[in-house]
Amino acid sequence: MDSILNHAPCGFLSVDDEGVILAINQTLLNILGYELKELKGKNINTVLAVPAKAFYQFYFFPLIKLEKKVEEMYLSLLTREGNEIPVLLNATRRENINDCVFIPMYKRNEYEIEILKSKKMAEEALDAKDKANDELRKVLHTLEAKQKELVELNFKNQEYQDRLSKELKLAKNIQEKSLPTPLRNEHINFTSFYKSSTELSGDIYGLYQIDKHRYGVIILDVMGHGISSALVTMSLQSIFQKLISVGVPVDVVMHELDEHLLLLFQNDNLISHYCTVIYMMIDTEKEEIEYINAGHPSAIWLDQEGEMLEFRSTTTPLGLLEGMEFEKHVFSYKKGGRLFLYTDGVTDTVELKVLKEILQESRSKSVEDVRKLIIKALKCEEKHIENIDDQCFILVDIK
C-alpha cells in the first residue's frame, strides 16, 4: 500500500465478497488497536459491532453489489478492547473487491446524543409544573448551542470535501498537461486520445523525438484507478521521459521501469502495483522498429497495401517478478505505414475487430480523421456500459 493511502486521515480496507479482509491501512489499524497480521485474511465481522454485522450482511452487501457503491452509511466498528466506534462508511466496488473508507464520527455522535438528551430535558421541563422557567431557558439554550455546534461541524466537513475536490481537479489538470502534444514533421505524424474514468487516470503515454531520425513511443496502463494508480503513473512517467529522450535502448528502458516499480513496494507486503506497457523506438532512416511488449494489448501495424500485423506481448507485465530479462524485437517496415497503440479501456468499450475495420476502411484518411472516427465509436458504445475504464490510444503515421 502506498504511503499516502496507508497514513491517510481516514480508515481504509478492502474485502472480497466473502467478507475476507484483503487490505487495511495503518490509520484504521491504529483506530481499532490491531496489528496488520491480526486482521489481514480475517472476516470483517471481527471488527463489526453486533448490530453492524447484521446491517452489513442484509443491507450493505446487497446494496454495493447492485449499485457498485455505498455512500454515507452510518454504523459502528469494534476495537480490540471491545469498544464501539461510530463511523461514516463510503465504499466502491471493483470486480469482486469492495473498497471501504471509514471516517470516525466521535464528536458528531457525542453532539447528537447531547442534543437528544437536551431535547428530552426540555420536554420534561415543559411537562413539569414544579420546574422554574429559568431552568427551562437554560435547557433550551443548551439545545440551541449543541445544534449550532453540529451545523458548524457539518460545514467544516463540507469544506473538506470541497477542498479535496479542488485538489483532485488540479492533479488531473497537471496529469493531462504532462502529456505530449500532437507532432507532425517530414518523417512522422502523431496524434492521441486520453480520457480518465475518474478524477485521475492509471493510463499514460509519450512520444519523444530522440534525434533527426529516431522517435520513442510508449503507452502503459497501471493496475487500478484513482489516486494511488495515478501517483504510480506519474512516477513512471518521470523515469521513461528522461530515458527515452536521450535514446536509452529499449530493453534498458523496460528494465529501469520494472526496477522502479519493484522498489516502490519492496517493503509493503499488503499491496503492490503492476503495469502493462509497450515501448517502440522508431528509426525512420533504417526503417526499423525496435519494441518490447510487457503484457500490454497488441499494437497494430497497417501498411499501405492494407496488410495488418500485431505486435503481441513478449513478456510479463512490469512490477511482478524480480530479475526479469527483457529481449527486444526488431520489425522492418516500408514507409507509408500506420501504428495504432491502445489500452484495454478502449477494447473493453469497442471490440478490437471493429477497431481494425475502422483502421482498414480509413487507411487513406489522415490520423486526425481516424482519431475522430474511433472517438465516435467509443462514445456510441459507452451508452451501453455501466463502468467505463480509463481510455487511451495513439495513432502514428510513418511517412
pLDDT tens-digit profile of 288-344? Answer: 999 999 999 999 999 988 999 999 998 999 998 888 999 999 999 988 899 999 999
C-alpha span between 218 and 206 (Å, rounded): 5
Q: Which residues contact 101 (CB under 8 A, 6 or more apart)?
A: 10, 11, 12, 89, 90, 91
35 shares its domain with 125: no
Q: What single letter denotes the amino acid at residue 136?
A: L
370 and 223 in a single domain? The answer is yes
Q: Phi and psi at residue 79, in whole multiples of 5°?
A: -75, 170
Tally of domains in the chain: 3
pLDDT digits (tens, 9 = 90+) for 262-273: 888 776 554 567
CATH number at residue 192: 3.60.40.10
The predicted pLDDT at position 226 comes to 64
* Cell triple for 362: 480509413
Do residues 232 and 332 share a domain? yes
- Nearest Cα residue to 100 out of 28, 7, 200, 26: 28
Closest alpha carbon to 178 in 149, 197, 154, 206: 206
Q: Each residue of 84-111: pLDDT tens digit?
A: 999 999 999 988 899 999 999 876 556 5
The partner residues of 15 in beta bridges, in order of sequence, read: 21, 98
Q: Which residue range(s) make up the domain with 55? A: 3-104
Question: Which amino acid would we find at residue 286?
Answer: K
Type of residue numbered 355: L
Q: Which three cell numbers stand for residue 217?
A: 513511443
Does residue 29 sit in the same domain as residue 139? no
Q: Domain check: are 36 and 135 in the same one?
A: no
Among residues 71, 104, 137, which one ends one of the domains?
104
Q: Are residues 339 and 369 in the same domain?
A: yes
Cα distance from N-terminal residue to C-terminal residue, the chain:
45
Asked if residue 368 and residue 264 are part of one domain, the reply reads yes
Select from 57, 49, 54 the least CA-distant residue to 78.
Answer: 49
Q: Based on the fold, state whether residues 71 and 123 are members of the same structural domain.
A: no
Q: What is the DSSP string of 60-113?
A: IHHHHHHHSEEEEEEEEEE-TTS-EEEEEEEEEEETTEEEEEEEE-HHHHHHHH
Kindly give the confidence (pLDDT) of every residue in the chain, 399 residues in length, as a single tens digit, with 9 standing for 90 and above. 678 888 888 999 999 989 999 999 999 999 999 999 999 999 999 999 988 888 888 888 888 988 999 998 888 999 999 999 999 999 999 888 999 999 998 765 565 566 567 667 766 766 666 666 777 788 778 877 887 777 777 766 676 566 655 655 555 555 566 677 788 999 999 999 998 866 666 789 999 999 999 999 999 998 866 677 778 888 899 899 999 999 999 999 999 999 998 888 776 554 567 899 999 999 999 999 999 999 999 999 999 889 999 999 989 999 988 889 999 999 999 888 999 999 999 999 999 999 999 999 999 999 999 999 999 999 998 877 777 778 999 999 998
* Dihedral sign (CA 126, 129, 131, 135): positive
Q: Is residue 346 domain-shared with residue 327, that is, in the same domain?
A: yes
Half-sphere exposure in the Cβ direction for 81 (13 Å, CA): 7
CATH number, residue 74: 3.30.450.20
Same domain, yes or no: 267 and 210? yes
**Quick check: pTM over 0.85?**
no
